[in-house]
C-alpha cells in the first residue's frame, strides 16, 4: 500500500470525572488522531501522548511535529507491503515512540482492512473477549474511594488498580482491602517513591496485591531490582519499559516479574509482538495498560490483549468509565466483566465523523507531493 493522504486531528474529549494520579489531574483527554488513506480506505491510529510531558517526554504537540515533519516524509512514495516494515523505515528517528506508534497503528488498521481480517487475528490473538480491570485515581478521601470501588465491583470489573503516592497509600489500601477481602487488587505509583522508601513499600505486602506497579523513577531499573528483593509482592513495570530491549534488560536485572504492555510507550505493534515473544519464552505474565484511549485506541488495546501471553486483567474498561460519548462506535461495554474483541476487519470500530468534528480543536492535512497545510 501507498499512503495517498494523511490527516491529523487534535481532539479534546471531556472525561466523565477527573482522573488523578501521582503526576497530576486530568479532566480532558487531549488526543492526536492519525488517519491514513490508501486505496479508498482509511486507517486510524491514536497517539497516546498527553498534553504535558508528565508520564513520558512526549506530548500530543511533539508527536504532531514529529509525525508531520519526520515520519510522514519517510513514507512518501513508498510501497509498504506489510506494517512490520515500518519500524525499520522510521529507525533513523530517535525516540518518539508514541508518535511512531500512532502512524504504525493506522498502517496495521489499513492492512487488516485490506486483508478483510480483524486486527486481533492479524496479530495472532486467540481470545474473543478479555477481562476488564479498572484503574481508580486518587480520591478526595477514603470513603469516596471505597464507594467508587464498590460501584466498579458492582459493575463487574475483574480487578481494581488503585493509584497511590506518598501520603495516599496504606490507609486507602487497608480500607479497600477490608471491604473487599477477595478482590484482585493492585497498586500503581507512577514513579512516586524512592528506593529509600523500601521499608514503607514493604508494608504493601500485607494486602495480598497482584502487583506493585512502577514504584520508582521511570529510568531506574537497578533501583527496581533492589526493591524487588525487599518485597514479596511482584513488581510490574510500565513507564520504564520503553522498548523491547528495555523489557529484556528489566527481566535480566530482576527489576520486575510482570510487564504492563502499551503499544504507544513501546513504539508500536511490532514492538508489542517482540515483547510478547520474549515474555512467552520466559514465562512472564503480561497485561495491556491503558491511557484513557478513545474507541480507536481502546479497540487496538483489545486486539493486543487477545494475544495468548496476556494472562492478567487489563486496564481496558468500558467506554462509559471515561466518556459519555465517544468518537468511535459502537462503545465498548462490560459483559460479565469482559470486553469483547472487535470482529470486523481492521480495528473493527467506526469513527463517527460528525462527533470527530465536534471534538476536534485542530486539524492538519498532508499529501505526499505537497508539504503541510495547516488547517488549524
The residue written with cell numbers 488523578 in the block is: 20
User: For 118-122, which contacts have Cβ atoms below 8 Å and span 24 or more sequence positions?
Assistant: 118/303, 118/341, 118/342, 118/343, 118/344, 118/345, 118/346, 118/348, 119/299, 119/300, 119/303, 119/342, 119/346, 119/347, 119/348, 120/302, 120/303, 120/306, 120/341, 120/342
Give the residue, chosen from 290, 309, 342, 348, that forms a contact with ligand NPG under the rule CB under 6 A.
290
CB of 106 to ligand NPG, least distance (A): 20
CB of 299 to ligand NPG, least distance (A): 13
Q: What are phi and psi of 210, to 5 degrees?
A: -65, -35
Binding region for ligand NPG (CB under 6 A) out of 79-87, 202-210, 288-296, 304-312: 288-296
Closer CB to ligand NPG, 113 or 301, in the complex: 301
Closest approach, Cβ 315 to ligand NPG, in A, equals 4
Q: Which residues on adjacent β-strands are paired with residue 236?
A: 213, 258
**CA gap 176, 180 in Å, rounded:** 6
Q: Tell me, yes or no, if 100 is annotated catalytic.
A: no
- What residues from 234 to 273 belong to the interface with ligand NPG (CB under 6 A)? 238
| Calpha distance 37→367 (Å, rounded) | 10
DSSP assignment of 150-197 = HHHHHHT-SEEEEE-BTTBSHHHHHHHHHH-TT--EEEE-TT---GGG
Which entry of 76, 100, 161, 163 is annotated as an active-site residue? 163
- From the CB of 172, what's the least distance to ligand NPG, in Å? 15
Q: Which is nearer to ligand NPG, 104 or 239 (CB)?
A: 239
Q: Report whether 105 contacts 84 (CB < 8 A).
A: no
Which residues, numbered 127-146, are part of the site for ligand NPG (CB under 6 A)?
A: 135
Is residue 190 a contact point for ligand NPG (CB under 6 A)? yes
When asked if residue 50 is in the footprint of ligand NPG (CB under 6 A), the reply is yes
Q: Is 186 in the site for ligand NPG (CB under 6 A)?
A: no
Query: Of 60 and 135, which has the nearer Cβ to ligand NPG?
Result: 135
- Residue 161 designated active-site: no
Question: What is d(CA 55, CA 217) in angstroms, rounded to the nearest whole number?
Answer: 11
Residue 375 cell numbers, joined: 488547517
Rounded (10°) angle between helices 170-179 and 142-155? 40
Q: What number of CA atoms fall less than 13 Å from residue 222's CA on the CB side? A: 0
The residue among 186 and 233 lying less far from ligand NPG, judged by its C-beta, is 186
CA dihedral 230, 179, 313, 266 (to 10 degrees): -50
Q: How far is the CB of 303 from ligand NPG (least distance, A)?
A: 15
Q: Which one of 101, 105, 261, 292 is in contact with ligand NPG (CB under 6 A)?
A: 292
- Count of residues engaged in binding ligand NPG, rule: CB under 6 A: 12
Smallest gap from Cβ 220 to ligand NPG, in A, equals 16
Q: Calculate Rg over the CA atoms of the chain.
A: 20
Closest Cα partner for 235 from 265, 278, 198, 271? 198
Nearer to ligand NPG, 109 or 293 (CB): 293
- In this structure, what are the phi and psi dihedrals at residue 370, rounded to the nearest 5 degrees? -90, -165
Per CB under 6 A, 172 contacts ligand NPG: no
Provide the mask over 312-341, with x wherever binding to ligand NPG is found by CB under 6 A and - wherever it is not.
Answer: ---x-x------------------------
Report the residue number, 59 or 317, with the smaller CB distance to ligand NPG.
Answer: 317
58 binds ligand NPG (CB under 6 A): no
Residues lying near ligand NPG in the complex (CB under 6 A) are found at 50, 55, 135, 188, 190, 238, 289-292, 315, 317
Q: Which positions are annotated as active-site residues? A: 163, 262
Amino acid at each position: 500500500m501507498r499512503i495517498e493522504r494523511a490527516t491529523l486531528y487534535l481532539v479534546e474529549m471531556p472525561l466523565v470525572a477527573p482522573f488523578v494520579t501521582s503526576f497530576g489531574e486530568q479532566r480532558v483527554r487531549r488526543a492526536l488522531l492519525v488517519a491514513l488513506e490508501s486505496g479508498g480506505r482509511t486507517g486510524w491510529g491514536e497517539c497516546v501522548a498527553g498534553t504535558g510531558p508528565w508520564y513520558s517526554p512526549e506530548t500530543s504537540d511533539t508527536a504532531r511535529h514529529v509525525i508531520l515533519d519526520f515520519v510522514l516524509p519517510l513514507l512518501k512514495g513508498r510501497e509498504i507491503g506489510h506494517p512490520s516494515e515500518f519500524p525499520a523505515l522510521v529507525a533513523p528517528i530517535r525516540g518518539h515512540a508514541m508518535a511512531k506508534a500512532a502512524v504504525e497503528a493506522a498502517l496495521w488498521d489499513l492492512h487488516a482492512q485490506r486483508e478483510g481480517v480483524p486486527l486481533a487475528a492479524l496479530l495472532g490473538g486467540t481470545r474473543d473477549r478479555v477481562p476488564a480491570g479498572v484503574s481508580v485515581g486518587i480520591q478526595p478521601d477514603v470513603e469516596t474511594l471505597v464507594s467508587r470501588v464498590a460501584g466498579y465491583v458492582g459493575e463487574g470489573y475483574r480487578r481494581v488498580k488503585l493509584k497511590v503516592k506518598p501520603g495516599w497509600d496504606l490507609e486507602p489500601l487497608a480500607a479497600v482491602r477490608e471491604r473487599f477481602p477477595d478482590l484482585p487488587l493492585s497498586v500503581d505509583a507512577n514513579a512516586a517513591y524512592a528506593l529509600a522508601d523500601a521499608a514503607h513499600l514493604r508494608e504493601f505486602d500485607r494486602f495480598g496485591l497482584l502487583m506493585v506497579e512502577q514504584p520508582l523513577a521511570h529510568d531506574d531499573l537497578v533501583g527496581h531490582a533492589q526493591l524487588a528483593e525487599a518485597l514479596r509482592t511482584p513488581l510490574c513495570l510500565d513507564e520504564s519499559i520503553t522498548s523491547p530491549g528495555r523489557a529484556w534488560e528489566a527481566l535480566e536485572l530482576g527489576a520486575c516479574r510482570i510487564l504492563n504492555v502499551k503499544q504507544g510507550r513501546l513504539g508500536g505493534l511490532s514492538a508489542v509482538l517482540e515483547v510478547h515473544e520474549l515474555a512467552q519464552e520466559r514465562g512472564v505474565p503480561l497485561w495491556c495498560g491503558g491511557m484513557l484511549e478513545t474507541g480507536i485506541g481502546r479497540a487496538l488495546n483489545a486486539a493486543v490483549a487477545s494475544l495468548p501471553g496476556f494472562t492478567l486483567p487489563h486496564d481496558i474498561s468500558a467506554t462509559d468509565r471515561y466518556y459519555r460519548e465517544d468518537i468511535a462506535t459502537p462503545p465498548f461495554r462490560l459483559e460479565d466483566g469482559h470486553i469483547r474483541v472487535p470482529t470486523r476487519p481492521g480495528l473493527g470500530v467506526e469513527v463517527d465523523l460528525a462527533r470527530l468534528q465536534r471534538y476536534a480543536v485542530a486539524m492538519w492535512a498532508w499529501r505526499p507531493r505537497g508539504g503541510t497545510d495547516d488547517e488549524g
